Structure 1
């Protein structure tokens, strides 16, 4: 909500040169169904299942039922998809015997993480066929892992493909071909990346590090803040450039043209994100650890940042860049920053 007597920027219709969906207020939708079907065919045609027991592969899609769409509502990207897939597989054992069967995935949807998709395996063989039984065990481990990896690619590429053009620039906003300075991340001219030598007699160098602490208030639900930092379409929107987000434990991320990168250590939706985090110009191999804790209040969400292992010489500029490139940009992009005072 805005201050008394002032307009809430989310309610103000701004001019756009093309007069299209001003301020991204109206609901817009793109049908992602045909694209998804083509993508599934690409991902699951002659897909080799790596293992040491048999020559196995996914041949083709036997059944593909469902739908997918990308939606822009009030500047927020929302993806809906629900699919039921049956995949044919075949293989040859070490003895030369051929086998075949099906992978079934009935619950591919945005309501579940890729790791939660149910994947079952069927195999056409006699119950007393020991070799077939061993192959099924391989399929339950290596086969399911391979299929799940391809499904993760589908989700990532769906969001990357349909993020394009969904969030339209506002009046006087920087155009995509002019965002190099903004998306390049942190200001290299202000950052001295030389490590601090704590002992001149030491043969190597020891990096002097410190901890950054910060607390911010956002006018949104805790889960909305969490989504803004983990859903690829929302991360793309507030960073204004291509990103990589593999949302699972030990999954990696890259933001601001690769200048910021790291790995997810803990993910608790609406509660906490723990990640390794490094700036590209830091000494090779040096990572800090970022902990973002979310506490939902009656009218806002309080976010606490703790970043350990930050080079001391860059602590001030790093904290300032969190404010500029994360907090301010998120508040401006998603309307998380208006309060009654």
Structure 2
């Protein structure tokens, strides 16, 4: 791993006249949540879906929960968005007298799915022959119309939040810099294992413990993943807060406001990291051992993480926190789940 000021050009920032995000090195981020909610309402409310036998209209966006973020990762634009949307609709059959009401559920509008894969589920409030015909119509023909509007949202998101994200380098005009837009993609499947229970003793108290194992695949080099865990600036980027970190044998680390802390036991650059690791609410002085084995493949890096000595009562929450605050946060922040174009 390169030291500050030595050799490796990736650690040398290039000056900009305005001294802002030199060389596009920093991971800049724009929050697109409020904009997205309004844009989805604009595209979906009062949307009409009709054919020769039926006419329907979206009347309300009843629910729009989630987030959308635009990131600049070393000159690459990466968009993360994930929404759970519920729509209200009304409709009538042509020549019919009764108005039917229902809802449309879009549970996972995200960059993990192509537009054609986005689930659009139609339901009616009261089932009857007219309602069932309208439900069938929306299920068959309305899905594509709704997906077209969702695609317009994605296109608009990229256009709106590409502006000003990538700054020109020295001797480079803003107008000459074209933004490269990239989606995050799930790309890989992850495997998680919980192993047998053991009993450890801390200050005379028996603690039931278990082991966790994660197999994660990242679209990056082994060196990039190693740096993401051992370089202070990169750890700060994906944990979204200040950290204390000494990436050396017996060096200490403290993350997430002190909720996670420990000591580096072994470091083999780009290959292996071993830590004594504990969560703040665990029994006093009880540490687990976390081992990262990093294996760079031809087109990705596979990381096997084994954590031994996890308190049995904390196993589920610990597993969920690794997934949410480490793996997904790294992929979202650094684009390690992306296929760059």
TM-score, normalised on structure 1? 0.50
TM-score, normalised on structure 2? 0.50
- Which structure has greater strand proportion? 2
